[in-house]
Amino acid sequence: MAPTKEYRLLCLENPLLDIQAFGNEALLEKYGLKANDAILAEPKHLDIYEDLLNNYDAKLIAGGAAQNTARGAQYILADNSVVYLGGAGDDKYSAILRDACKQAGLRVEYRVDPKIPTGRCGVVITGHNRSMCTELGAANHYDLEHLKRPDIWALVENAEAYYIGGYHFTVCPPAIMELANQAATKNKPFILSLSAPFIPQFFKDPLDASAPYWDYVIGNETEAEAYADSHGLGTKDVKEIAKALANLPKANAQRKRVAVITQGTEPTIVAVQGENAVKEYPVHAIPKEEINDTNGAGDAFAGGFCAGIVEGRPLDECVDMGQWLALLSIKELGPSYPFPKQTY
């Protein structure tokens, strides 16, 4: 049998090290954080990282939303299937990230900035909520120059599908647009995650510029609602929002857009461009006592889903693979996947 082509999925976003701890109301209040949110750190937040490490027994875990997704897709796919791009420093934290990705079989090609520390994300878990506060550091310095470097661009041209974490709209929209164009002109799938409510709220213009290129758009219910709000859709109905997303104008007419909205333990909603019926997929059940934390569950869903897309599976199966991987991730601490590997 001919060997499968390598690095078929290329992902781009912000590599971060998660500093994750189980916290409480008082900690959230001290830094003015909501129980369930993702934000960029302001000066008033910067002490939280040391606080988590010194006072809350925080763990250092490989994070960065799309890096979690990339590790997840690689978990399912054949060896050497996924490559991930982003900006990192040359320090202890990036060494931890590289090590975790290596163990997961994920190839990373970081734009290394020797002067700026690797990005970090404080994650405060309270019950089933997680509050994330990110200082992007070197991740904020990803640039087109890196993407266009001949060895990196060769990976872009070689890839058969692209996954972009929407958090990257805060960093380098031109890099996103390069990949979007590449996907549309070569008729390869372009998959985008909305990532967090603040992306459609505060990064609306670059997000909208990329919208015609989305073949798949993935989000959760709060991101869908934020999108509807900032785009004046006049509805909070997740099915209606999914339909609106699916039917936005599209660059590559050879693929119908698919919008996928996850809703925690509620069914996953899927709308397809031009189709009136919106499908619902109940999630895989999990006994409460098996839940460790839900940090990274959405990234894992995207990872399983992307693996299905790369393998050319039917949409139903792609959704099922996403739900399967999300379930595995929820049982682990942080955005991680169980070893020894389980097979789908």
Structure tokens at 30: 């001290």
- 38 contacts ligand 26A (rule: CB under 6 A): yes
* Complex with ligand 26A: residue 219 or 244, whichever CB lies closer: 219
Q: Say how far apart CA 226 and CA 107 lie, in whole Å.
A: 33
Helices (DSSP H) in 65-172: which residue ranges? 65-76, 92-103, 144-148, 150-158
Closest contact distance (angstroms) between CB of 274 and ligand 26A is 31
Footprint of ligand 26A on 180-199 (CB under 6 A)? none
- 296 contacts ligand 26A (rule: CB under 6 A): yes
Among the residue ranges 51-59, 98-106, 129-137, 222-230, the one whose residues contact ligand 26A (CB under 6 A)? 129-137
What order of strands is seen across the sheet that includes strand 107-113?
Answer: 107-113, 82-89, 9-12, 161-165, 190-193, 216-220, 258-263, 266-272, 279-281
Answer yes or no: 299 catalytic. Answer: yes
- 49 contacts ligand 26A (rule: CB under 6 A): no
Q: Say how far apart CA 245 and CA 4 lie, in whole Å.
A: 33
- 134 contacts ligand 26A (rule: CB under 6 A): yes
* Complex with ligand 26A: residue 106 or 121, whichever CB lies closer: 121
Binding flags for ligand 26A, 4-33, as an x/- string (CB under 6 A)? ---------xx-x-x---------------
- 294 contacts ligand 26A (rule: CB under 6 A): no
| Catalytic hit among 208, 299, 316, 320 | 299
State which H helix or E strand residue 52 sits in. helix 48-55
- 307 contacts ligand 26A (rule: CB under 6 A): no
Among the residue ranges 156-164, 176-184, 265-273, 293-301, the one whose residues contact ligand 26A (CB under 6 A)? 293-301
* Complex with ligand 26A: residue 138 or 244, whichever CB lies closer: 138
Residue 258: Cβ within 10 Å count: 25
Q: Which of 82, 101, 108, 136 binds ligand 26A (CB under 6 A)?
A: 136
Closest contact distance (angstroms) between CB of 139 and ligand 26A is 7
- The CA distances from residue 142 to 42, 77, 169, 170, 318, in Å, are 20, 27, 11, 11, 30
- Nearest to 238, CA basis, from 211, 212, 269: 269
Closest contact distance (angstroms) between CB of 113 and ligand 26A is 16
Footprint of ligand 26A on 63-102 (CB under 6 A)? 63-65, 68
Structure tokens at 202: 């505060």
Cite the beta strand spans of the chain per DSSP E: 9-12, 16-22, 37-40, 59-63, 82-89, 107-113, 119-126, 129-135, 161-165, 190-193, 216-220, 258-263, 266-272, 279-281
List interacting residues with ligand 26A (CB under 6 A): 13-14, 16, 18, 38, 40, 63-65, 68, 121, 132, 134, 136, 165, 167, 170, 295-296, 298-299, 335
Return the active site residues. Answer: 299
